[in-house]
Amino acid sequence: LKVGSDCLTMAEPSRPWVHPGGKALLEGLKSKPELNGQEVTIQSRDIATGRWLCKVAPFGEEMKFQAKNLAEDPNSGEAESNKGEWLRRGAQAAVQNHPELDGQVVRIVTVDGDTGQCKCVVRSSGEAVTVLQKNLRPLAGSAAPSTAPDAAPKPEPKPAASSGKDWAAMETERRRLAEGFRAGFEEGPCVV
């Protein structure tokens, strides 16, 4: 058992990417599921609690997380060699390093390998956007659907309301549907 300043700089043995100065993605958070998939910069380890102090990328807020909730950043190490494999139609991705869309979650519609551009749909607003491949990263724990060339596209399954994994997206979708429902009614005489 080491005691002293060396404990602050040690990495997690089972998760070598978890070390001060490292980058990781949040996953498996139950108390704040809206942070799942967000990138963090690891600052230091709190010896008393065993949690890692991290700076959450889009907000700059410092929070403590257990090592099991820090997934390897796909933009580093061996994940870099598989970078393009996940990037295909239907995959969910987060936008990074983009002035207007930074931190937004998108669904990929088309990928142009020649120009490096991807046509995507923003999950929260349904807006169609074009983003460079280098500005997209996969969401933690998500994988692109397997598609056969002649197979009909499968509809995306709706998340269960009780799962609570993506509360913010479910709430946005509920509001969008409610607004569309209300827009179908106009004032004036109605025919029954």
State the pLDDT at residue 82. Answer: 46
Check residues 171 and 6 and name the one with the higher pLDDT.
171
When pLDDT is averaged across residues 174-182 and rounded to a whole number, the result is 71
Query: How much is the pTM?
Result: 0.38
Q: Side chain identity at 68, as an amino acid letter? A: K
State the pLDDT at residue 72. Answer: 85
What b/e sequence results for 144-176 when a residue is b if at least 16 CB atoms lie within 10 Å of its CB, and e otherwise?
A: beeeeeeeeeeeeeeeeeeeebbeeebeebeee
Q: pLDDT tens-digit profile of 78-137?
A: 444 345 577 887 888 888 888 888 888 888 888 887 888 899 988 888 889 999 888 888
State the pLDDT at residue 183. Answer: 56
Share of the chain above pLDDT 90, in %: 10
Q: What is the mean pLDDT of the chain?
A: 74
State the pLDDT at residue 192. Answer: 53
Which H helix or E strand runs over 172?
Answer: helix 167-183
